[in-house]
Structure 1
Amino acid sequence: MWPVKPRPYLHRVNLINDLTLINDPSRLPRRLGHTAEAPLPAGRDTGIDLVRAFCVVVVVLLHALMAGVTVGGAGPEFVNTAEGAAWFTPLTWVVQVMPLFFVVGGFAGSIAYRRLRHRGGTPVDFLAGRVHRLLLPAVFSIGAAGVGLAMLAAGGVPADLVLTAGFRYGQPLWFLAVFLVCQALLPALVAAHDRAPLGSILGLTAAAVAVEVLRTTTGLEVIGILNLAFVWLTLQQLGFFLADGCLESLGRRTVVITGLGAVTLLAGFFITGIFSPDLIENLNPPTPALLLVGVAQTALLSLVRPTLTRLSTRPRIAAVTGFVTPRTMTIYLWHMPVLLTMAGATALLAMDTGVVLPEPSSAAWWLTRPLWLGIAAVLTTAAAWALAAGEQRRMPPPTASGFRAAQAVLAGLAAVVLLLVAGTTVLSATAAVCLLIVALRRIRR
């Protein structure tokens, strides 16, 4: 018999059925998601761990590339080497990995929470564990930053340079605050995903778009702060679909079309000027452009996951992933102090020896970047190896009170917001450490 040619309308019917199943968890087969009978995956997903490690390494190297120092007649000055550089915008299309990081965070958080529930744990137990894991290493990092700034001031370093160092240190801390909020809301959002997967993510997406429309039409930039919640929560929610296997169930063709559609739509927004083609510029405040980036990255991840899983088992790659995974927050919190120390040492060396530092983006500057990035990677690795005890320390029994856990989240959030708003100084770092200690005490019996 001749093979029967598939009828095009059947693909449309199947897609409609897939979307219906996604919106009705009671009808999901096991291959699509976690039903009451669906077993959770055994062990860690090494492919996802590899993606998370990749994201962390990219962030460290990107910040190392952007961190610069010049020495002029007024003395040393910390500079952002990417500012005004023609090469930076196309680079952001490759190195803007924050959407992917939050998708992976949603994937890992969803599975961790479901495993905890299967063991008899509660949402409060999950929340307490996340507060401990995120805030304990922050106590040491922020405390060390305060001590370092005090030493610089006592050593006669100009006040404006000390303020700049504090500002540079505090810039990446937005991630700690946002990730803490996303993880705190994860149990509730997992429940919403179980009830109405498509409805919950579309609701968050609509909120993010509405905030952006209000921000652009009113000209009130402060409204965009709301998208620090809605954009990243939407991307975390997208990770739930990846964890449930829903994306794979749609078929490679549908996933490819979705990813290409997101890229095409993003290019249209760039061309029309709705969003900046600099994807780092879309970070503060986050715009819906990052949602399209996240969709495209998630589609690609869904397609290459089998390959990544195979790669993740290779000894050398597994060794890197095994080092980074349990030290993720330590690496993130300590890489900026490492870069500031490198910049300060470079400035001192230039002033003592009379060596002229290359101008950022010049040929000489690019020739020195491999050495600069290599030193940054080695020193950050050494700091993570030496200082990860706080992140890896086992948490004591958590409190059974949801109210106390909520207080812990608010105290931790207040500590980071204080540093972001007031800047990192000796006084603000001291206050932030006190708030973090309060947060950690709230989750203990």
Structure 2
Amino acid sequence: MSEVRDRWAALAERIDRGTPAGRDRAVDALRALAILGVVLGHWLVTALTTSDGALHGTSPLVRMPWLAPVSWVFQTLAVFFLVGGHVAARGYASARAHGVSYGAWAGRRLGRLFRPVAAVVAVWAVAAAGLLLGGAEWDTVRTLLTLVWSPLWFLLVFAALTAATPLVARLSPVWPLAVVAGVDVWRFGFGGPQWAGWVNVAAGWLVPYTLGAAWARGAFARRGPALLLLGGGAAATAALVLWGGYPASMVGVPGAAISNLNPPTLAAVAFGLAQCGLALLVREPLARVMRRPRTWAKVALLNLSAMTVFLWHQTSMMAVTALGLLVSTDLPGLHTVPGSGGWVVARLLWLPVFAGALAVCWAAFRVHERPRPRAVDRTAGAPGAGPEAGRPPGERRPAGSPAVSRA
């Protein structure tokens, strides 16, 4: 055990030494927290039950609405879009300063997103075909594919906003926020068509994205604006839930009349504003914590494979569930109906098992997230430009240390 600790300490020191002095480690920490929030949130509020020989998806929030505060902690997509807007705005500005074309910059960033996606889509296309040929119920296959592929909408929106960075980087977040409010008033106040809500998929996530771009321009150098976001967003969310008829859960609940997330509502966007304000306020404490080599190494390594973790976390949960069926069809917290506090306790005990399965998926598929070799990188040294973002031009990474996370 001591040998493992010594090796980890040596690796952490190499990663720490290999990180450029000017890198904003708090940005990477916020991204890591956002990814972990999504993963843990899905593992806690998604359940698979068996009936009529098929697997069906459900949520503990259906029978235990008092668990809604769990969604307040783990629905962290707004923070991810905040960091994404910040990094993309800085990266594009630096790319332009280094003479890199928009096409080269966008192609590189979008390639990092979609190479891992291609792997998970291909694997699950083959798996779905094999399950159907093997006699699996269509309801089971549909449930599994929905759990795997439905989160990909987030990547499509994120990719679209990334590609549009030159157009939206200086857009005030007030404008997309006004669009979200107008769409909700139309839908819920005047009986407008429900399809209009899908306008908020772009407008809703554009709000934190443009906040991130404003952060890149120095808009949050003082604490006042972040405090205003936190206080105003929290107050608006409370008012909308208590008196506006919006659900308390910040994630979708099967069978609910209104979902705050699919598509995003004004309540979800207001909640995201509060999250962004809190994220901006904890930058300095996070930066201090990230000066510890072992802590920083964990964050850096997670960022190197952030998309792999996101794309395969549902697969890991389903793999454990399927293997559990070989033992019993009624394992508490795994196959049982989520309708009591006992289920919650049992599910918490399964989380380390899910994490172990995710580690196996990570080892198998993280290769698809590695950047392709390039002959020349004219954005070297650009904040958020690539795996070694922030490194001065011409400075090489110390031998033996992993590249720092791709922003």
Question: CA separation in 1, counterparts of 2:332 and 2:297?
Answer: 42
Residue 357 (structure 1) shift: 5.0
RMSD of aligned Cα (Å): 2.6
Establish whether residue 128 from structure 1 lines up as the match of residue 94 from structure 2. Answer: no
Alignment of 1:38-117 (within 5 A): 43-72=22-51, 74-84=52-62, 85-117=64-96
The CA deviation at 1:50 is 0.7
Which residue of structure 1 lines up, in the alignment, with residue 246 of structure 2? 275
1:224 aligns with 2:197: yes
Aligned to 2:180: 208
Structure 1 residues 137 and 356, CA gap change in structure 2 (3 angstroms): closer
Q: CA deviation at 1:206?
A: 2.0
CA distance in 1: counterparts of 2:317 and 2:369, whole angstroms? 21
Q: Which residue of 1 aligns with 2:344?
A: 366
Aligned residues: 348
Do the aligned partners of residues 248 and 80 (structure 1) sit closer, same or farther apart at CA in structure 2, a change above 3 Å counting? same
TM-score (norm 2): 0.79
Using the TM superposition, give the Cα deviation of residue 307 of structure 1 relative to its aligned residue in structure 2, in angstroms: 0.5
Return the alpha-carbon distance in structure 2 between the equivalents of residues 203 and 104 of structure 1: 19
Tell me, yes or no, if the aligned pair for 1:52 and 1:101 is still in contact at 8 Å: yes
Aligned in 2, Cα 1:373/1:352: closer, same or farther, shift over 3 Å?
closer
Distance verdict in 2 for CA 1:130–1:397, change over 3 Å: farther
**Aligned AA (2:316):** V
- Counterpart Cα distance in 2 of 1:277 and 1:383: 34
| Structure 2 counterpart of 1:26 | none
Q: Secondary structure at the match of 2:248?
A: coil
Q: CA deviation at 1:178?
A: 0.7
d(CA) in 1 for partners of 2:150, 2:144 = 10
Q: CA deviation at 1:286?
A: 0.7
Q: What is the aligned partner in structure 2 of residue 183 from structure 1?
A: 162
Tell me, yes or no, if structure 1 residue 346 matches structure 2 residue 332.
Answer: no
Which has the larger share of helix? 1
1:171/1:345 CA distance change after superposition, 3 Å = same
Higher mean alpha-carbon deviation, 91-100 vs 347-356, is at 347-356
In the superposition, relative to structure 1, how do residues 153 and 304 fare at CA in structure 2: closer, same or farther (>3 Å)? Answer: same
Pairwise CA distance, 1:352:
10
Q: Which amino acid aligns with 1:307?
A: P
Q: Does 1:264 align with 2:243?
A: no
Structure 1 69/350 Cα, relative in aligned 2: closer, same or farther at 3 Å?
Answer: farther
Report the Cα offset of residue 127 of structure 1. 1.3
Q: Name the stretch that deviates more: 371-380 or 63-72.
A: 63-72
Summarize the Cα distance change of 1:304–1:357 in structure 2 as closer, same or farther, 3 Å threshold.
Answer: closer
Q: For the residues of structure 1 that align with 2:157 and 2:225, how far apart are their CA atoms?
A: 31
Deviations 1:64-87 (A, max 9, x none): 123323344x23423323241223
- 1:237 to 2:182 alignment: no
Letter in 1 for 2:83: V
Residue 277 of structure 1 deviates from its aligned partner by 1.6
Amino acid at match of 2:235: T
Counterpart AA for 1:381: A
The residue that corresponds to 2:309 in the other structure is 331
1:141 maps to which residue?
Answer: 120
Decide whether the 8 Å contact of 1:152 with 1:162 is kept in 2: yes
Task: Tell me if the contact between 2:148 and 2:315 (Cα under 8 Å) persists in the aligned partners.
Answer: yes
| TM-superposition CA deviations, 1:307-347 (whole Å, max 9, x none) | 00011222332122111112111111111222222222222
Q: Which secondary structure state, in structure 2, belongs to the residue aligned with residue 248 of structure 1?
A: coil
Determine if contact 1:358/1:364 at 8 Å carries over to the other structure.
no
Q: TM-score, normalised by structure 1?
A: 0.72
Quick one: distance in 2 between partners of 1:356 and 1:160?
A: 18
Structure 1: runs of 5+ lacking an equivalent: 1-40, 399-445
| CA distance, structure 1, for counterparts of residue 148 and residue 111 of structure 2 | 22
C-alpha distance 171-318 of structure 1, shift in aligned 2 (>3 A): same
1:369-399 CA deviation, whole Å, 9 max, x = no partner? 233111112221332233111111316689x
CA contact (8 A) 1:189 1:237 kept: yes
Aligned partners of 1:54 and 1:144: how far apart in 2?
A: 27
Quote how far apart the aligned CAs of 1:356 are: 10
